[in-house]
Amino acid sequence: MTIPLSTTTVSTIISGASLVGIAHGLDAGCMIGAFSGAVVFVISALDFPIFKRWLLFLVSFLTGIVASNFTAALISIVIPQGVTVDKSVGALIASASAVRLLMMLAAKTNDQTSLLDRFQRGRK
């Protein structure tokens, strides 16, 4: 299986993300973590057409940036040794999992209801 992006393209994108993060006051590590998580998500989402994958990449990347602090704090609470997790790790985990989690919650089951529909109706 061939990789659609060359090493030069990937390094250019990561460098650009770093520069954008530094220039606009965002944490560069957070930007790179969100980008990496979005790439992991898009690589695993082969069942979607390319246009939807680009949109999902953008949503995943933005979710990783926005939810990085919350996810890092949540991981720090879950780990019992009191380890402080950097928000770049939070961005990576948030961007790789947030869209998948929402898709899982919104997926229809055999009885044509999703978990969100059931929650709204107040039944199990």
What is the rounded CA–CA span in Å between residue 16 and residue 64?
17
Predicted confidence (pLDDT) at residue 99 exceeds the cutoff of 70: yes
Residue 70's pLDDT is what? Answer: 92
pTM greater than 0.85: no
| Model pLDDT, residue 45 | 79
pLDDT digits (tens, 9 = 90+) for 37-56: 888 888 887 888 888 888 88
Burial 86-116 (b: 16+ CB within 10 A, else e): bbbbbbbbbbbbbbeeeeeeeeeeeeeeeee
pLDDT at 48: 81
What is the distance between the alpha carbons of residues 19 and 17, in angstroms, rounded to a whole number?
5
Res. 102: pLDDT tops 60: yes
pLDDT tens per residue across span 74-98: 988 888 787 888 888 999 999 888 8
Q: Residue 44 and residue 14: Cα distance in Å, rounded?
A: 20
